[in-house]
Amino acid sequence: MCPRRHLRLRTQWWLILFATSLLVTLMTVDRTAERFDNAIYDHLLQLAPSPRSDAILLVEIDDESIGRLGRWPWNRSVHAALIDRLNAAGAKAIGYDVLFTEPAGEEDDERLARAIAGASPVFLPALPSGALNEGGAGSAILPIDRFRDAAAGIGVATIAPDPDGVVRGAAASHGAPGRPGHLMAEMARSLPHSGHVPSDARLIPFGGGEGRWPEVSAAAILAGQVPAALIEGKIVLVGVTAPGLGSRYATPTGGVMTGLEIQAYLLQGLRSNAMMTRAGLTACLVIALLPLCMLMMGLGPFRRLPALACLGLCSALVLGASVCALMLLRVWLPPSAALTGLALAYPVWGWRQLAAAERFMRAQLERLEEEPALVPRTAFIRREGGVAYTISLLRNAIARNREMRHFVAGRLDQLPDATIVADLAGTILLTNLAARRLFADQPEALAETAGLGPILNRCRVTGSGDMLRFCPGMAPPSACEVQFDQGRYFLFGMAPQTSTDGAHVGWVVRFVDISEAKAAQKQRDDVVQLLTHDMRSPQASILAVLETAPADRIAPQESRSIRYYAERTLQLADGFVQLARAENLEYALEETDLGDMLMDAIDDLWPQSRAKSIDIVTQAEERLVATVERSLMTRALVNVIGNAIKYSEEGTTITCSLSSQVRGDGVLCAVYAIQDQGPGIAPALRQTIFERFRRGPVGLGPRESGAGLGLNFAHTVMVRHHGRIECRSETGHGATFLLQLPLIVD
Amino acid sequence: MALAGLVEMALVDAGHTCEVFGEGQFLVRALHRSTYDVLILDWNVPGLTGLEVISWIKANLDVAPPSLMLTSRSAEEDIVAGLTAGADDYVIKPVAPAVLKARVNALARRAYPTALSGFEQYGRYRFDTRAETVELSGEGIALTAKEFALALLLFRNMHRALARAYIFEAVWGRNPNLPTRTLDVHISNVRTKLNLRPDNGVKLVPIYSYGYRLEALAS
């Protein structure tokens, strides 16, 4: 990806992080997702155990009581009787949730006041007038003075459902001095062993499960049907539950409860210090924003996990934090805003990434499309936007790739030599027709994904018989001649393959069939062998016979003729063998002084030159050294100088000079110039003088022996040394042979 | 076998005693029984080739007699192979009796050296080994110490092929750090200064990939 696009993607990352954070903050402050949070909260509460306690007894003024004692409101003497009964049974405390805010008959009030002032502390409710908002201090309507004096505590007993109609917490009651607190809070505070009652914890710990509080009907108590043991030592809550009179409320744990039951939960929560708090705004923001940042980090700069796992982890973290806080710290952290942030950031970031990837891919594919193709284009695509365009580009690129593979395989098949393409580890990628034909007996060795090993193991290096070996990462076997088990010969080569940026990516293995060339070479070697040994030996024997024969047994004239012909046959054989050597031998090059070489050649010809009294003058001013095959080069000089001697008149001079000069193509060359004073060479002959079996015209020189291979040999040797041989001559004015030899051969 | 006859005749003529074997096996058998001063081996004989005989000698005899191989001029590779395997010198077929005599004498001399006086005369060349000076036809020639040693080595081993390694050790001692070109340069200098040319009755022959040999020409 190019840096510019990378930067753009990074900018998008920051934008997404900022926007989702803003949204999450707004949601947290605004409590937009409170319904969702409430649903989660309700479910979580159902998981919690029910906080039931046998310390609380509910006394219900239910339908049965109304039916048995008369219609509501009852006469206060009935209430007094009920409280007296409870006092007599030894109740620990009594929360009497019935309003006595206006005086009734004097006698009844007096009786009730006496009952309230009885053994058990009695707590009475007050009626908050108007809205229950802050600052409504003193606006509660309290019980009449007589009862207020007799009661152990006065409190507001309001139940305030949340906006969705479900009761989750006690009504706000704290903070205003002089205004009564909640009735249950008053009771909890005044009872022993109730621990610290947090003033701001307002969420009631409703529990899951089926349980209800132990409850008895008020009528049953008044009728004396309830044993005192059931009441003794209990906190008794008295309230109206008759369907026609008391309200019923929805609760988080599902189901509907009477106000009295809710009061019991609240009291128990307060007593056991199990009330829960809604977390503050700061905590909410932290729990909402932190996972979001973590997700964005995990998706962007600090990618360690798969994106989905990252999302799952962050969501689990949010929920886990929420559950743990609620269960362990009794603090409610609403998770919805955080979850919404996560759920939003994940797809948006994914979408932006996909878009960037698609844009990049399209740009690359367009560039690829514009590059010249080896394979003819099958379809042209109209430039436009959209995914469909990218898809058609991609389809085209894939088609071209397939075509290219087909093209490569096709061209490879057309190669005459067995060729195998392998990767760096030696795994075969491609083979051509010739290779498949060559290894037809073991097709499994050529299968793609097979290694080169089995194939190389079949090759034996000619001569040593070693097996070819190839280890990935090591230098490959160098080019060499190998023999197959079926007796065929191949030139084996392994060439490195590079990618477009020059990195080494694989190998091309090639087997060039040289069986025929090998056979021809063998034949030639046999001929040379024949000439060297088998044909020479009889000639040498003839000469030996002539040498050893007694002089009186063979006429001198015939002896000379036989000797001459035997020697010529030998020379002919020698010439042939030397020519074959010059053409086929692998040259063993060594640094040689060119002046020494000239001297060797002249010394070698000393018998011939002395026989004709020919003076050979040497002119070599400087010492020149070149890398040559010394024996062949000396023989070439011998041949050229020998030729000069052969065609020169007796008593003449041959000048041999050695100098250096720069050739036309800028290469520094040593030049041997062999100049004679012989008859010269006609221009027509000069053209062909270096061909095989060419000799000077018969009769020019005296009875010359020679096979006509000498100059051809010299020519072959010079060419193989990257040199040149030429002849300058005018008929009647002698001839000059120039042998050029590069001094530095790369 | 005509060649063997020629060789035998030439050697007998030079005053040597000579035994001819038709096959390599016979020679090997004979080597078990008796000792010889010089062996002359044809490279291509039935049974055991000259190369195989040389290998057998190197492996089985405590004191190997010097050996001379007869070979065809065309196969220079054979010459190198033979010399490398352990042959001491070679003669190219067809065999010239004079050359054969000179080489056999050189081998016999090397193998069984005679005592030397202060002055040594080789044709026109006269060496004073004490003063380390050389005269050519009575005229003194200035040589460095190494050149004198090299020249004397060549003349003392007249007609004998000297391996490069042998020359190196004889003149420079065991000093492996010298470049191989050193020897060629010294040979070239000696050749020029002493004018080792056929006109002075000697000829310096390079033996490719092996070494050098100084030959005295028949006048």
* Contact assignment for B5 to A599 by CB distance below 8 Å: no
* Contact assignment for A544 to B95 by CB distance below 8 Å: yes
- Using left for φ > 0, alpha for ψ between -120 and 50, and beta otherwise, residue A155 falls in beta
The CA distance from B64 to the nearest CA of chain A, in Å, is: 28
What's the rounded Cα separation, in Å, for the pair A730 and A734?
A: 7
* Contact assignment for B44 to A593 by CB distance below 8 Å: no
- Whether the pLDDT of residue A465 is over 80: the answer is no
**Token pair in block for residue A740:** 């050029």
What's the rounded Cα separation, in Å, for the pair A613 and A615?
A: 6
**Strand A153-156 to B125-128 pairing:** unpaired
Residue B1 pLDDT: 60
**Token pair in block for residue A474:** 């090591």
Question: CB-based contacts of A252: which residues, under 8 Å, 6+ apart?
Answer: A38, A41, A42, A45, A46, A166, A167, A168, A206
- Whether the pLDDT of residue A633 is over 80: the answer is yes
Residues A311-327 have a mean pLDDT of 90
* Alpha-carbon separation of residue B47 from B1, B43, B56 (angstroms): 15, 11, 13
A645 closest CA partner among A613, A684, A693, A691: A613
DSSP secondary structure string for all residues of chain B: -HHHHHHHHHHHHTT------SSHHHHHHHHHH---S-EEEESS-SSS-HHHHHHHHHHH-SSPPPEEEEEETT-HHHHHHHHHHT--EEEEESPPHHHHHHHHHHHHHHHS-----SEEEETTEEEETTTTEEEETTEEE---HHHHHHHHHHHHTTT--EEHHHHHHHHH-S-TTS-THHHHHHHHHHHHHTT-SGGGTEEEEEETTTEEEEEEPP-
**Token pair in block for residue A318:** 């949010």
Tell me the range of A12-21, A229-238, B74-83 where mean pLDDT is highest: A12-21
Instruction: Determine contact: A136 vs chain B, CB below 8 A.
Output: no
Residues of A in contact with B187 (CB under 8 A): 596
pLDDT digits (tens, 9 = 90+) for A364-401: 888 888 887 776 766 667 777 778 888 888 888 888 88
* Contact assignment for B76 to A548 by CB distance below 8 Å: no
Q: Is A728 helix (H, G, I), strand (E, B) or coil?
A: strand
Instruction: Name the band, by pLDDT with cuts 50, 70 and 90, for residue A637.
Output: very high
Q: Mean pLDDT check: name the lowest of A319-328, A720-729, B45-54, B83-92.
A: B45-54
pLDDT digits (tens, 9 = 90+) for B144-191: 999 999 999 999 888 888 888 888 888 888 766 777 788 888 999 999
* Contact assignment for B74 to A536 by CB distance below 8 Å: yes
Please report whether residue A363 resides in a domain. no
Please report whether residue A115 resides in a domain. yes
What's the rounded Cα separation, in Å, for the pair B190 and A275?
A: 121
A639 closest CA partner among A714, A741, A568, A572: A714
- Using left for φ > 0, alpha for ψ between -120 and 50, and beta otherwise, residue A404 falls in alpha
* Contact assignment for A570 to B191 by CB distance below 8 Å: no
What's the rounded Cα separation, in Å, for the pair A153 and A82?
A: 19
Q: For chain A, percent helix, then strand, then coil, each to nearest 5?
A: 45, 20, 35
- Whether the pLDDT of residue A745 is over 60: the answer is no
* Contact assignment for A540 to B94 by CB distance below 8 Å: yes
Domain segments of chain B as ranges: 2-111, 119-216
Q: What is the DSSP letter of A168?
A: -
CA-based nearest residue in chain B for residue A590: B209
Closest Cβ–Cβ partner in B6, B93, B208 for A631: B208
* Contact assignment for B95 to A610 by CB distance below 8 Å: no
**Token pair in block for residue A620:** 């070599």
**Do residue A186 and residue A196 come from a single domain?**
yes
Residue A614 pLDDT: 92
Closest Cβ–Cβ partner in A574, A599, A600 for B73: A574
Question: CB-based contacts of A270: which residues, under 8 Å, 6+ apart?
Answer: A184, A185, A188, A194, A197
Question: CB-based contacts of A536: which residues, under 8 Å, 6+ apart?
Answer: A570, A573, B72, B74, B93
The CA distance from A633 to the nearest CA of chain B, in Å, is: 11
Looking up residue A477, the CATH number of its domain turns out to be 3.30.450.20
- Whether the pLDDT of residue A425 is over 60: the answer is yes
Name the CATH code of domain B119-216 (choices 3.40.50.300, 1.10.760.10, 1.10.10.10, 3.40.50.10900): 1.10.10.10
Instruction: Name the band, by pLDDT with cuts 50, 70 and 90, for residue A200.
Output: low
Q: For chain A, first and last CA: distance in Å?
A: 46
More confident residue, B3 or A133: B3
Residues A401-427 have a mean pLDDT of 87
- Whether the pLDDT of residue A696 is over 70: the answer is no
Q: Which residue has the tokens 């190196």?
A: B168
Contact B152, B127 (CB under 8 A): yes
Instruction: Determine contact: A555 vs chain B, CB below 8 A.
Output: no
Instruction: Determine contact: A598 vs chain B, CB below 8 A.
Output: no
**Do residue A398 and residue A440 come from a single domain?**
no
What's the rounded Cα separation, in Å, for the pair A96 and A239?
A: 6
pLDDT digits (tens, 9 = 90+) for A184-197: 877 877 776 555 55
CA-based nearest residue in chain B for residue A599: B197
List b or e across A493-510, with b for residues whose CB sees 16 or more CB atoms inside 10 angstroms.
Answer: bbeeeeeeeeeeebbbbb
- Using left for φ > 0, alpha for ψ between -120 and 50, and beta otherwise, residue B101 falls in alpha
CA-based nearest residue in chain A for residue B213: A600
Q: Which residue has the tokens 């309200």?
A: A247
Instruction: Name the band, by pLDDT with cuts 50, 70 and 90, for residue A461.
Output: confident
pLDDT digits (tens, 9 = 90+) for A125-152: 888 765 444 444 456 778 888 888 888 8
* Contact assignment for A533 to B72 by CB distance below 8 Å: yes
CA-only gyration radius of chain B, Å:
18
The CA distance from B60 to the nearest CA of chain A, in Å, is: 27
- Whether the pLDDT of residue B17 is over 80: the answer is yes
* Alpha-carbon separation of residue B50 from A44, B27, B84, B119 (angstroms): 108, 10, 13, 39
Classify residue B178 as exposed, middle or buried by CB count within 10 Å of its CB (0-12, 13-18, 19+). Answer: exposed
pLDDT digits (tens, 9 = 90+) for A476-525: 777 788 888 767 888 888 888 888 888 888 888 888 888 888 888 888 87
Residue A699 pLDDT: 42
* Contact assignment for B72 to A532 by CB distance below 8 Å: yes
* Alpha-carbon separation of residue A461 from A466, A484, A720, A735 (angstroms): 5, 9, 27, 50
Residues B121-139 have a mean pLDDT of 88
pLDDT digits (tens, 9 = 90+) for A517-559: 888 888 887 887 777 667 777 888 888 888 888 878 888 888 8
The CA distance from B196 to the nearest CA of chain A, in Å, is: 10
Q: Which residue has the tokens 């010889």?
A: B36
- Whether the pLDDT of residue A466 is over 80: the answer is no
Torsion of CA A358, A363, A365, A367, to 10 degrees: -170
What's the rounded Cα separation, in Å, for the pair A193 and A123?
A: 18
Beta bridge partners of A240: A61
Residues of A in contact with B198 (CB under 8 A): 603, 606, 610
Instruction: Determine contact: A583 vs chain B, CB below 8 A.
Output: no
Please report whether residue A351 resides in a domain. yes
Please report whether residue A521 resides in a domain. yes
**Do residue A598 and residue A623 come from a single domain?**
yes
Residue A172 pLDDT: 60
**Interface pTM, i.e. ipTM:** 0.83
Instruction: Determine contact: A611 vs chain B, CB below 8 A.
Output: no
**Do residue A164 and residue A63 come from a single domain?**
yes
* Contact assignment for B204 to A603 by CB distance below 8 Å: yes
Residues A456-473 have a mean pLDDT of 76
The CA distance from B95 to the nearest CA of chain A, in Å, is: 8
Residues of A in contact with B3 (CB under 8 A): 537, 540-541, 544
Per cent of chain B over pLDDT 90 is: 14
Residue A199 pLDDT: 56
What's the rounded Cα separation, in Å, for the pair A685 and A689?
A: 6
What number of CA atoms fall less than 13 Å from residue A102's CA on the CB side?
2
Residue A652 pLDDT: 92
**Do residue A562 and residue A535 come from a single domain?**
yes
The CA distance from B216 to the nearest CA of chain A, in Å, is: 12
**Token pair in block for residue A552:** 């009186």
Instruction: Determine contact: A626 vs chain B, CB below 8 A.
Output: no
Classify residue B63 as exposed, middle or buried by CB count within 10 Å of its CB (0-12, 13-18, 19+). Answer: exposed
Average pLDDT, chain A: 82
Q: Mean pLDDT check: name the lowest of A225-239, A660-674, A678-692, A708-722.
A: A678-692
What's the rounded Cα separation, in Å, for the pair B64 and B87?
A: 10
Q: Which residue has the tokens 């043991």?
A: A229
CA-based nearest residue in chain A for residue B42: A537
Residues A249-261 have a mean pLDDT of 82
Please report whether residue A717 resides in a domain. yes
Instruction: Determine contact: A631 vs chain B, CB below 8 A.
Output: yes
Q: Is A492 helix (H, G, I), strand (E, B) or coil?
A: strand
- Whether the pLDDT of residue A656 is over 90: the answer is yes
* Contact assignment for B198 to A606 by CB distance below 8 Å: yes
Instruction: Name the band, by pLDDT with cuts 50, 70 and 90, for residue B110.
Output: low
Instruction: Determine contact: A562 vs chain B, CB below 8 A.
Output: no
**Do residue A196 and residue A256 come from a single domain?**
yes
Q: Mean pLDDT check: name the lowest of A209-218, A247-256, A279-288, A724-733.
A: A209-218
In chain B, which residues touch A (CB < 8 A)? 1-3, 5-6, 9, 44, 72-76, 93-95, 97, 181, 184-185, 187-188, 191, 197-198, 203-206, 208-209, 217
Please report whether residue A365 resides in a domain. no
Residue A178 pLDDT: 57
* Contact assignment for B181 to A591 by CB distance below 8 Å: yes
Please report whether residue A367 resides in a domain. no
Closest Cβ–Cβ partner in B72, B95, B188 for A536: B72
φ, ψ at A586 (rounded to 5°): -80, 120
* Contact assignment for B5 to A570 by CB distance below 8 Å: no
The CA distance from A515 to the nearest CA of chain B, in Å, is: 25
Instruction: Determine contact: A541 vs chain B, CB below 8 A.
Output: yes
Residues A226-247 have a mean pLDDT of 84
Per cent of chain A over pLDDT 70 is: 89
pLDDT digits (tens, 9 = 90+) for A20-62: 999 999 988 888 888 888 888 888 888 777 666 778 888 888 8
Residues B97-111 have a mean pLDDT of 81
* Contact assignment for A593 to B95 by CB distance below 8 Å: no
- Whether the pLDDT of residue B112 is over 70: the answer is no
Closest Cβ–Cβ partner in A544, A574, A600 for B5: A544
* Single residue among A529, A553, A585 that ends a domain in this structure: A585
Q: Cα dihedral sign for A128, A131, A133, A134?
A: negative
φ, ψ at A529 (rounded to 5°): -60, -45
Q: Is A439 helix (H, G, I), strand (E, B) or coil?
A: coil
Instruction: Determine contact: A573 vs chain B, CB below 8 A.
Output: yes
* Contact assignment for B75 to A542 by CB distance below 8 Å: no
pLDDT digits (tens, 9 = 90+) for A553-566: 888 888 888 988 88
Closest Cβ–Cβ partner in A532, A577, A630 for B208: A630
**Do residue A421 and residue A465 come from a single domain?**
yes
Closest Cβ–Cβ partner in B9, B72, B73 for A548: B9
* Alpha-carbon separation of residue A159 from A139, A202, A261 (angstroms): 17, 12, 11
More confident residue, A136 or A667: A667
What's the rounded Cα separation, in Å, for the pair A443 and A445?
A: 5
Q: Is A101 helix (H, G, I), strand (E, B) or coil?
A: coil
Residue A602 pLDDT: 93
What's the rounded Cα separation, in Å, for the pair A89 and A527?
A: 141
* Alpha-carbon separation of residue A183 from A97, A100, A241, A245, A305 (angstroms): 9, 14, 18, 20, 54
- Whether the pLDDT of residue B48 is over 80: the answer is no
The CA distance from B165 to the nearest CA of chain A, in Å, is: 16
The CA distance from A572 to the nearest CA of chain B, in Å, is: 11
Residue B41 pLDDT: 87
Instruction: Name the band, by pLDDT with cuts 50, 70 and 90, for residue B120.
Output: confident
**Do residue A592 and residue A578 come from a single domain?**
no
What's the rounded Cα separation, in Å, for the pair A135 and A489?
A: 111
Closest Cβ–Cβ partner in A570, A588, A610 for B94: A570
Please report whether residue A135 resides in a domain. yes
CB pairs under 8 A between A and B: 83
Q: Is A275 helix (H, G, I), strand (E, B) or coil?
A: coil
Question: CB-based contacts of A690: which residues, under 8 Å, 6+ apart?
Answer: A711, A712, A714, A715, A725, A727
* Single residue among A273, A296, A323 that ends a domain in this structure: A273
**Token pair in block for residue B213:** 């040999």
Is it true that domain B2-111 has CATH number 3.30.70.270? Answer: no
Instruction: Determine contact: A610 vs chain B, CB below 8 A.
Output: yes
**Token pair in block for residue A684:** 């027509």
* Contact assignment for B197 to A599 by CB distance below 8 Å: yes
Residue range(s) defining the domain that contains residue A647: 588-742
